[in-house]
Amino acid sequence: MITNRRRHIVVAMTLIAPFVLIFGLVFLYPMIRVVELSFTNAPLIGSGEWVGLENYRQLLTDNLFYTSLKNNGYFVLLTVIPTTVIALAIAIAVNRLSGRMQALVLATFFLPYILPVSVVTQIWAWMLDFQFGIFQPVIEYFVGEPVAVFKQPAWVMPTIAVVTIWWTNGFNVLLFIAGLRNIPKELYEAASLDGASRRQLFMKVTWPLLWPVTALVMTLQLILQLKLFDQVYLLSGGGPFNSSYVLLMMVYREAFQLNNGGYASAVALVLFVIIMVVSVLQFQLLRMGGRK
């Protein structure tokens, strides 16, 4: 019996060993190194002197850090709730279709999600080009003149938010469709027999049963948007006047341009803590809201 138990333990350890090895190599070791580097003045590659909390003290007096943090928060407000609402509306509309039409429409909405970020930003940079962009006549119709959207502080973050929603929303639509298909049709039939309207069906049946999926979508979007970097780097470079500068751009600048690995690690660690705390709090609040 003891031999069998040991055999089971050996088999279990053999099965989980590849995951533990990859996890330790790809995530755990780099995380430990980032924490260690954040307390030194080391360059990106090489050793440095221990400076304790000096990097964090410098961070608290760095105006660029507060600007980046504010821009990250602004982008979260522009994207998390709007993309959730849009994805839910699209999913409900697609779910009413059937057969090939449903598959075609779903593929159309999901297609941008599989595109690389470089392709997405190139497409939108061309469509919003100040001289030749096909969207400039639309902007001129509403504003009165063409607008260089990536060079105007008031326009740059909302425009990047639109690009991001268009790019990533296909995955959220899939999650909502999966949630809608798991709702038993008998509930809708019973509510309809009781005289429930479409609005009542949504508020009393669809929305409560979709709440766990909604909490998941919002949490994933919060984490994703707090890690914003690619779109900003490729479309605006953080400008104009740092109006689209975000925390990961600050990490990139300190680490790869200024060779300041210790300070970059401190910024990265603060961002990690912010993402972890905010996402956990949001998910727990949404779960509590769903139980009411």
pLDDT tens for 189-210 read 788 877 778 888 888 888 888 8
Please answer whether residues 176 and 210 qualify as being in contact, where contact means their C-beta atoms are separated by less than 8 angstroms.
yes
Omega cis (within 30) before 240: yes
For residue 161, give the nearest of 70, 272, 53, 77 by alpha carbon.
77
- The Cα–Cα gap between 236 and 155 comes to 11
Handedness of CA 137, 138, 144, 148 (dihedral sign): negative
Residue 159 has, within 13 A of its CA and on its CB side, a CA count of 26
Confidence (pLDDT) at 84: 93
Higher pLDDT: 12 or 136? It is: 136
State in words which class domain 62-290 has.
mainly alpha
pLDDT in tens, 216-232: 899 899 999 999 999 99
Render pLDDT for 128-157 as a digit per residue (tens, 0 to 9): 998 888 999 999 988 888 899 999 999 999
**Residue 284 confidence (pLDDT):** 80
- Residues in contact with 40: Cβ distance below 8 Å, sequence separation at least 6, in sequence order: 47, 48, 49, 50, 51, 262
Residue 81 tokens read as 């709730």
Interval 94-125: pLDDT, tens? 888 888 888 888 888 888 999 999 999 999 99
209 vs 290: CA distance, rounded Å: 9
